Amino acid sequence: MDLNSVTRSTGLEEHGITNANIIYWTPPTTVLYEQVVKRGEGLISHQGPLTVKTGHYTGRAANEKFIVDEPSCRDKINWGTINRPFDEDRFEALYRRLTSYLQGKDLFVQDCYAGASRSHRIPVRIITEKAWHSLFARNMFIQATREELENHKTQFTVIDIPSFHAVPSIDGTNSEAFIIIHFAKRLVIIGGTSYAGEIKKSIFTVMNYLLPSQKKVLSMHCSANAGPDGDTAIFFGLSGTGKTTLSAAPNRRLIGDDEHGWDDGGIFNFEGGCYAKVINLSPVSEPEIYDCTRRFGTILENVAIDTLTRRIDLNDASFTENTRASYPLTHIPNIIGAGTGDHPNNVIMLTCDAFGVLPPIARLTPEQAMYHFLSGYTAKVAGTEAGVTEPKATFSTCFGAPFMALHPSVYAELLKEKIGTHQSHCWLVNTGWSGGGPGVGSRMKIAYSRALVNAALDGTLAAGQFELDPVFGLSIPKSCPGVSQDVLNPRNSWADKAAYDEVSRNLVARFRKNFEQFSNYVSPDVAKVM
């Protein structure tokens, strides 16, 4: 492709951007590689992936995200510590300074789509100053065909400029970084952070606002795959619980690893790529993802690299524990290219229980499914976050609270309706610890988690016998092929039974305390689950 065919000097005036220098319009991966190297944004590593550094922010800047408080969304947003309001006048002032800052700068544009469903997809435009951020957008969103580009009518725009910093005393932000969504203007502006995940998660927040409120489509923070016969499964879970790992299974076809919608026809992926954590990635346990870290077109964020040999070290966490790989879905050999699937036969809710008291798998009643969906429980492990010195319970409603713009009950009611209508089987899977917390017990083997999930999906567990856990009220299978019976009931895996009883009772108390906020939005049967 002739370089001139992907460059212009005008065309962004509708976004208030004038007098830009070179504008690269939906450039292909090869052009972006050239620009990354030319501009010193990253290195090409052995076997082809780009390695880049994100600077100060190696993860989402949760405290820097805002939603503009304006009439079109004011009565719909679930305002609070997550969805923080931002003054409309201050947004306008900040936006004017941002667009003025862009005069004379080179910019990269990706015109693409969010949503594999043609009925619900949203044409999006991602404008960036970094070539590797443009490649990230190209990987993570659904690419438009040449014909679609000719008629691409942008419905939401992201302007991502890491080198532009806010002034908190003037702009009303919390720091120099900001991620601000203006629903009426259909615009997101990002500045002060080079963490590319902000781009995809801002559009995910947009989808979580538009689809449930306007189309009654359930938007979900989940991965999804399908078996040989087309049976679909979805995997809810927070970061680090195994969404990407367990959905990228060799015996099933991947639909997507992170964001999906569920409408009257089934489920559909929001994205065109994957964004996987790669710290300590194993070529044996996670071969599909591992292979992607050796592919041209993959972006490796904050992964250590030997600058002489250009070989990477996936076990090196010197930059961050949150090392990431962004790659197109087509890098995975076993995918559903259309990004769609039937109504889920199985709904799996993943948790990483660092206390080691939840069972590795449990069958959920519809009421329990609602309870655990609204709870969104996992636990952080000591050492992975500043100030965390022992396992810390985390409750992120709908398994994705930072991205849910509406009240949690909106998503929960839609899930309840979908599960009931399509008679989906629900499971809770603990990919965390067994036999005690860190230092006492051990992390659940990936082989065990895969075996348990496979047995749930193929009907083996449902056909077997269960026992009732008296503490959490969960139905635990008595046996599973390929999994030691000592692991299935968590109390049996603890040497100190009294310690198990105390820790489990404490965790139940935390569940109950957290769930008080939802008591007025659910039926008594759901409220008394635990």
* Cβ–Cβ under 8 Å, residues 469 and 476: yes
Q: What is the percent of the chain where pLDDT is above 90? A: 90
Q: How far apart are CA 146 and CA 144, in angstroms?
A: 7
Angstrom CA distances, 142 to 78, 271, 296, stand at 29, 6, 18
Q: How far apart are CA 108 and CA 190, in angstroms?
A: 15
Report pLDDT digits (tens) over 321-371.
899 999 999 999 999 999 999 999 999 999 999 999 999 999 999 999 999
Average pLDDT over residues 261-276: 97
Region of residue 398 (phi > 0: left; psi between -120 and 50: alpha; otherwise: beta): left
pTM, rounded to two decimals? 0.94
Task: Pull the structure tokens for residue 76.
Answer: 């719909």
Residue 269 sits at φ, ψ, to 5 deg, of -75, 145
Which of these, 214, 162, 156, lies nearest to 181 by C-alpha position? 156
The full 3-state SS of 268-322, as one line of letters, equals EECCCEEEEECCCCCCCCCHHHHHHCCCCCCEEECCEECCCCCCEECCCCCCCCC
What integer pLDDT is reported at residue 239 of this predicted model? 83
What integer pLDDT is reported at residue 381 of this predicted model? 64
Fill in the DSSP letter of residue 214: I
Angstrom CA distances, 23 to 108, 187, 195, 295, stand at 6, 19, 22, 27
pLDDT at position 126 over 60: yes
Average pLDDT over residues 462-479: 95
Which of these, 270, 266, 295, 293, lies nearest to 282 by C-alpha position? 293
Q: How far apart are CA 191 and CA 189, in angstroms?
A: 7
Q: How far apart are CA 103 and CA 19, in angstroms?
A: 5
Assess whether the region 277-331 and the region 343-527 belong to the same CATH fold.
no
pLDDT at position 401 over 60: yes
What integer pLDDT is reported at residue 2 of this predicted model? 43
Find tokens 């449990």 and name the residue: 362
Q: Which pLDDT band, with edges at 50, 70 and 90, does 164 fall under? A: very high
H-state helical runs in 61-220: 88-101, 131-140, 146-150, 168-171, 197-210
What integer pLDDT is reported at residue 5 of this predicted model? 55
**How many residues are recorded in the chain?**
530
DSSP 40-90: TSEEEPTTS-EEE--TT-SS--GGGEEEE--TTTTTTS-BTTTBEEE-HHH
Fill in the DSSP letter of residue 185: T
Angstrom CA distances, 250 to 226, 288, 396, stand at 11, 8, 30
Residue 299 sits at φ, ψ, to 5 deg, of -105, 125
pLDDT at position 385 over 50: no
Neighbours of 320 (CB within 10 A): 17
What integer pLDDT is reported at residue 390 of this predicted model? 65
Fold exhibited by the domain 277-331? Phosphoenolpyruvate Carboxykinase; domain 2 (2.170.8)
* Cβ–Cβ under 8 Å, residues 457 and 233: yes
H-state helical runs in 227-359: 243-247, 287-292
408-422 and 366-375 helices cross at what angle (nearest 10)?
150
Find tokens 């044409």 and name the residue: 123
Q: Annotated active-site positions, please?
A: 60, 201, 221, 239, 243-244, 258, 324
Average pLDDT over residues 236-255: 90
Q: How far apart are CA 470 and CA 423, in angstroms?
A: 26
What integer pLDDT is reported at residue 388 of this predicted model? 47
What integer pLDDT is reported at residue 374 of this predicted model? 98
pLDDT at position 309 over 60: yes
Fill in the DSSP letter of residue 360: S
Average pLDDT over residues 421-431: 97
Contacts of 284 (CB under 8 A, 6+ apart): none
Q: Where are the domains of the chain?
A: 3-215, 277-331, 343-527
Q: How far apart are CA 249 and CA 394, in angstroms?
A: 27
Average pLDDT over residues 293-320: 97
**In sequence order, what are the beta bridge partners of 406?**
none
Average pLDDT over residues 35-60: 97
Contacts of 53 (CB under 8 A, 6+ apart): 42, 194, 301, 302, 319
* Cβ–Cβ under 8 Å, residues 258 and 223: yes
Angstrom CA distances, 276 to 98, 223, 298, stand at 31, 11, 11
Report pLDDT digits (tens) over 69-80.
999 999 999 999
Q: Which pLDDT band, with edges at 50, 70 and 90, does 244 fall under? A: confident
Task: Pull the structure tokens for residue 25.
Answer: 């319009």
Contacts of 38 (CB under 8 A, 6+ apart): none
pLDDT at position 465 over 50: yes
CATH number, domain 3-215, options 3.90.550.10, 1.20.1440.230, 3.40.449.10, 2.60.120.200: 3.40.449.10
What integer pLDDT is reported at residue 386 of this predicted model? 45
pLDDT at position 112 over 70: yes
What integer pLDDT is reported at residue 432 of this predicted model? 94
Residue 402 sits at φ, ψ, to 5 deg, of -65, -15
Class of domain 343-527: alpha beta
Which of these, 117, 164, 120, 158, lies nearest to 136 by C-alpha position? 158
Q: How far apart are CA 121 and CA 124, in angstroms?
A: 9
